[in-house]
Chains A and B, each alone.
Chain A
């Protein structure tokens, strides 16, 4: 079974803090993705990566950056958290379709 793990299930941060969300997959997948999930909006792609050190912007990259130093790990960084970044963040990985998802991190920015 594919396993995608995320570092925290729940996170509370203050406005202006730097936030790191970590994602690790154990299936040697080339592709990794970060989404945010908001009610009524479905999933929106923030960033994705096709290979180590490679990153591509998704639909809503503003206010976020990513890092992929190792194949199994894909980090999402909020440089200066804002209240409008309160959301559920989902990580996914794939070799081919479909994508496999982690449990999500519910981030609250106060």
Chain B
């Protein structure tokens, strides 16, 4: 069965630190990949998505993610985080039935 693994359940950083959140998936076919973010008290929002083409994908709010096919990875990055990036981040993969398979989420806390 396909699965998505997010390596860290909790990450705590100081403002201006660089961020990388890991996401690995186990699915051998053509993949569509997503990162969603859920700010405290708000609904899930799409951060960025990868369907095909350039494996380096840029999203909203300065986030980017790199699809590395050989590593089955789609890590999320931001060069300098802000306090307002405190949120929970979810990685998801779309399977051949067009369903999303979700990671468990990573809670990111940015210390001011």
A residues contacting B by CB (< 8 A) are: 4, 31, 40-45, 48, 58, 90, 92, 97-104
Contact = CB atoms under 8 A, between A and B. Distances in A.
Nearest to A91: B43
A31 B42 CA distance: 22
A100 B36 CA distance: 10
Contacts, number: 44
Contact of B90 (A43, A97, A102): A43
A98 B59 CA distance: 13
Contact of A42 (B46, B90, B94, B98): B90
Interface residues of B, number: 22
Contacts of B42: 103
28 contacts: A40-B9, A40-B104, A40-B105, A41-B104, A42-B4, A42-B90, A43-B90, A43-B92, A44-B102, A45-B99, A45-B100, A48-B99, A58-B99, A90-B43, A92-B44, A97-B34, A97-B49, A97-B51, A97-B98, A97-B100, A98-B46, A99-B100, A101-B36, A101-B43, A101-B44, A101-B45, A102-B43, A103-B43
